[in-house]
Amino acid sequence: MKLEETAVRQVSLLLNTGPEAEAGKRVFTINRTTAEEPAANPINHPFLLGVSFEQYQEDGTAVNEAEIFLRTEDYQRFITGLIEHEYLLPANYRQWKEEKFGGICLHMEATEAPGLFAARLAAVLRKISSEFDR
């Protein structure tokens, strides 16, 4: 099995979702719900987690991207979880946020093994959310 296919399987298992091919990218999308009533939360649709990787290299690294919609109250806990996670953030990492739909949309990019990127995200999301859909 090619190394890239092994990475796809690993990310699929960690995020419990299958990949979609999209213009040279491997894209994984997960729905995340909240226990709050829509009236109590301006975001009345499922939280989405979109993860992708492209430009897979022979050394096992790739350009990874994630787009995460978080409730405002989850944002700082998520960032703290990333910083405190056993897999340190790579040197080639960047993030930015924007406020959307009454919550926060966090964009992340990192060049590292897709499995590490996905493992870190999945662990932190599970830590801050009691309802991480699988």
Query: CATH number, domain at 80?
Result: 3.30.1460
- Backbone φ, ψ for residue 53 (5° rounding): -145, 150
The answer as to whether 133 is a domain residue is no
Mean pLDDT by 10 residues, the chain (134 residues): 82 80 78 52 56 91 92 89 94 94 90 94 81 41
Q: DSSP for 7-22?
A: HHHHHHHHHTS--EEE
Q: How far, CA to CA in Å, does 120 sit from each of 1, 43, 45?
A: 24, 25, 24
Contact call for residues 33 and 25 (beta carbons, < 8 A): no
Other Cβ atoms less than 10 A from the Cβ of 117: the count is: 29
The answer as to whether 57 is a domain residue is yes
Number of domains in the chain: 1
Residue 111, burial from CB neighbour count under 10 angstroms (0-12, 13-18, 19+) = middle
Tokens of 17: 């979702």
pLDDT of residue 44: 41
The answer as to whether 124 is a domain residue is yes
pLDDT of residue 80: 94
The answer as to whether 19 is a domain residue is yes
CA distance 79 to 81: 5
Provide the domain limits for residue 27: 3-128
Length of the chain: 134
The answer as to whether 112 is a domain residue is yes
pTM of the entire predicted model: 0.78
